[in-house]
Amino acid sequence: MDYRSHEVIQLLEELVKIESTNVGKFEKEIGDFVAAWLERETGLPVVKDEFEPGRFNVVCKLEGEIHDPAFVSIHHMDVVPAGDGWETDPFVPVIEGNRMYGRGSGDMKAGLACGMLSFRDMVKLGKKPKRDIIFIASADEEGNIMMGAVQALKSGYATKDSYVLDHEPTAGKIFMAHKGKTWFKITVKGAQAHGSTPWVGIDAIVGISEVVLGIKRRIDALPTDETFGQSSVCFGTIQGGFNTNVVAESATITLDMRLAPPLTSEGSLELVEEAIKEACEKVPGLTGSYEVIARRPFVLHNDDSLLLKELQECVKEVTGKYTETAVFTGYTDSGVIAAETGNGNCMSYGPLGMNYHQPNEYVDLDSVLEVYEVSKKITYRMGFEID
Name the residues that contact Zn ion, by CB under 5 A: 107-108, 168
Shortest distance in whole angstroms from residue 307 CB to Zn ion: 19
Of the pair 27, 132, the CB lying nearest Zn ion is at 27
Of the pair 13, 107, the CB lying nearest Zn ion is at 107
Of the pair 268, 348, the CB lying nearest Zn ion is at 348
Torsion of CA 365, 371, 377, 378, to 10 degrees: -160
Shortest distance in whole angstroms from residue 26 CB to Zn ion: 15
User: Strand, coil or helix: what is 259?
Assistant: strand
Contact 285, 236 (CB under 8 A): no
Centre a 10 Å sphere on the Cβ of residue 104 and count the other Cβ atoms it contains: 30
Centre a 10 Å sphere on the Cβ of residue 359 and count the other Cβ atoms it contains: 15
Of the pair 143, 241, the CB lying nearest Zn ion is at 143
Shortest distance in whole angstroms from residue 34 CB to Zn ion: 16
Shortest distance in whole angstroms from residue 15 CB to Zn ion: 13
Q: How far apart are CA 20 and CA 26, in angstroms?
A: 5
Shortest distance in whole angstroms from residue 330 CB to Zn ion: 8
Of the pair 140, 210, the CB lying nearest Zn ion is at 140
Of the pair 107, 278, the CB lying nearest Zn ion is at 107
Q: How many residues does the chain have?
A: 387
Of the pair 59, 108, the CB lying nearest Zn ion is at 108
Q: Residue 324 carries which DSSP code?
A: P
User: Strand, coil or helix: what is 105?
Assistant: helix
User: Strand, coil or helix: what is 109?
Assistant: helix
Shortest distance in whole angstroms from residue 246 CB to Zn ion: 46
Shortest distance in whole angstroms from residue 380 CB to Zn ion: 25
Contact 277, 152 (CB under 8 A): no
Of the pair 27, 107, the CB lying nearest Zn ion is at 107
Contact 111, 374 (CB under 8 A): no
Centre a 10 Å sphere on the Cβ of residue 311 and count the other Cβ atoms it contains: 25
Cα end-to-end span (Å), the chain: 39
Distance of CA 376 to the CA centre of its chain: 23
Shortest distance in whole angstroms from residue 292 CB to Zn ion: 24
Contact 108, 12 (CB under 8 A): no
Shortest distance in whole angstroms from residue 103 CB to Zn ion: 12
Shortest distance in whole angstroms from residue 108 CB to Zn ion: 4
Q: In what order do the strands lie in the sheet with 46-52?
A: 46-52, 55-62, 131-138, 66-76, 163-166, 346-349, 174-178, 325-328
Name the residue type at position 78.
Answer: D
Instruction: Give the relative orientation of helices 110-124 and 28-42 as an angle to the nearest 10 degrees.
Output: 20
> Which stretches of the chain are DSSP H helices?
7-17, 28-42, 110-124, 147-154, 204-220, 265-282, 306-319, 333-341, 365-380
Of the pair 107, 225, the CB lying nearest Zn ion is at 107
Of the pair 42, 170, the CB lying nearest Zn ion is at 170
